[in-house]
Amino acid sequence: MSLHFFYRYIVGLFLEYMKLSDEGLHPEKVFKYCPVCGANTLTFKHGRAFMCDTCGFEHFFNAAGAVLAVIVNPKGELLVSRRAKAPFKNTYDLPGGFIDPKESAEESLLREIKEELNVEVDTYELCFTVPNQYPYSGVVIFTVDLVFKVTVKTPEHMKACDDVAEFLWVPPQQLHSTFFGIQSCNVAIQKLGLIP
Ligand SMILES: [Zn+2]
C-alpha cells in the first residue's frame, strides 16, 4: 500500500467515526416542558406532535424543507463540499441547506449556492425529494430534502464560504453508497445514477 493510499485509508476511517458520533434524540426524549405555560405535562402523540395536558397547547413536528444541489462538470465529476461545522463535521456534503421561513425552495437554492460557493445559479431543475433526519443540538430534525440538478455561472470563480471548509470535484469511480455523511445525499446520487 502506497503512502498516499494509506493516508486516504486513515482519513476514511476518521470520517466514518465522525458520521457515527453525530446522533440526535427524538424530540419526545428531549422536550420536557410546555413552551407556553412551563408545566412538565407534555404528552406525545403518534411520534409527531405534542400536547400540553395543563394548558392545551399543541405543536406538530412537521418536516422541515431543505435543498440539495447536484452540480456535475463537463468531465462528469460531481461537486462535493466538506462540512466545516457539526453535525457531520468534516464529512462530504452536497451544497445546500434549510429553507428559511417565508422563502421559496428556489430562493433558498439560489441563496445557499451564493453563500457556500460564492457564485450565481445559472439553471436548475427539481429532480425528486428525499425524507431525511438531521441531528442538531442533540435533537433529530425531520426534513424533506429537495434535490436539484444545478449549473452555475462562472464556475471558475467558485470559492468555499460559510459552513463549507473546501469543495472538490469527485469522479464517479470514487463515489459510493456511503460517501456522504448525510444520508439523503447518498440516496440522491444513487437515484440519479451517479454511482457506477
Ligand atoms: Zn402548557
132 CA distance to ligand 1 middle (Å): 29
Q: What is the DSSP letter of 157?
A: G
Three-state DSSP class for 72?
strand
58 CA distance to ligand 1 middle (Å): 9
Q: What is the pTM of this model?
A: 0.84
Would you tell me how many other CB atoms lie within 10 Å of the CB of residue 17? 10
* pLDDT (0 to 100) of residue 126: 98
31 CA distance to ligand 1 middle (Å): 12
Q: φ, ψ for residue 136 (rounded to 5)? A: -145, 130
Cβ distance 119 to 157 under 8 Å? yes
Contacts of 166 (CB under 8 A, 6+ apart): 81, 82, 160
25 CA distance to ligand 1 middle (Å): 22
* pLDDT (0 to 100) of residue 160: 86
User: Cell numbers of 37, please?
Assistant: 405555560
The mean pLDDT values, 10 residues at a time, for the chain of 196 residues are 57 50 76 95 88 96 96 96 89 96 98 94 98 92 97 90 88 95 96 91
Cβ distance 99 to 67 under 8 Å? yes
63 CA distance to ligand 1 middle (Å): 23
38 CA distance to ligand 1 middle (Å): 6
184 CA distance to ligand 1 middle (Å): 35
Going from the N-terminus, what domains does the chain have, and what CATH number goes with each?
3-60 (no CATH), 64-191 (3.90.79.10)
